[in-house]
Amino acid sequence: MGNYLLADGGLWANNPSLVGLTEAIGKLKINQSDVKIFSIGTGIGNKYYEIDGSENKNWGMIGGWEGSKLVDTILNLQSITSDNMVKLVLGENQYMRLNFSSDQNLAMDKFDILESLKSKADHTFTYEINKIKKFLSQE
């Protein structure tokens, strides 16, 4: 855009909680004790590579990492890492993330899994409603 090359947050901040925490403390100068983050995820895929036989696989950029599987794995790892860091810094009283895990590939370009994603989101919300209410009612 103009003189800038822009990247969607989904490419570098699949869990933007750490970015929000950094902006709040760094740019907005909000005290860490005053920051509260409620984060809603879009799912974490648990299975992109087969474990059985992986020791015999020819790993590498040419084909072993299988392109989009590597990207999906990196995006998931970024999201999980951000979750862990914010949880460590803020604790449970100041940070809550809703997310679900799936054995299905949750690639960004798979529209055929939308109904399954809606069902998982509904299940997660229903299961976590009491925790959500408690978190949101805390001062």
- Torsion region of 94: left, alpha or beta (phi above 0 gives left; psi -120 to 50 gives alpha): alpha
> DSSP readout, 89-117?
HH-TTTEEEE--EESS---TT-GGGHHHH
In 3D, which of 73, 122, 81 has the Cα closest to residue 98? 122
**pTM of whole model > 0.75?**
yes
pLDDT tens digits for 32-83?
999 999 999 888 877 665 555 555 556 555 555 655 677 777 788 888 899 9
In three-state secondary structure terms, 39 is: strand
Q: How many residues does the chain have?
A: 139
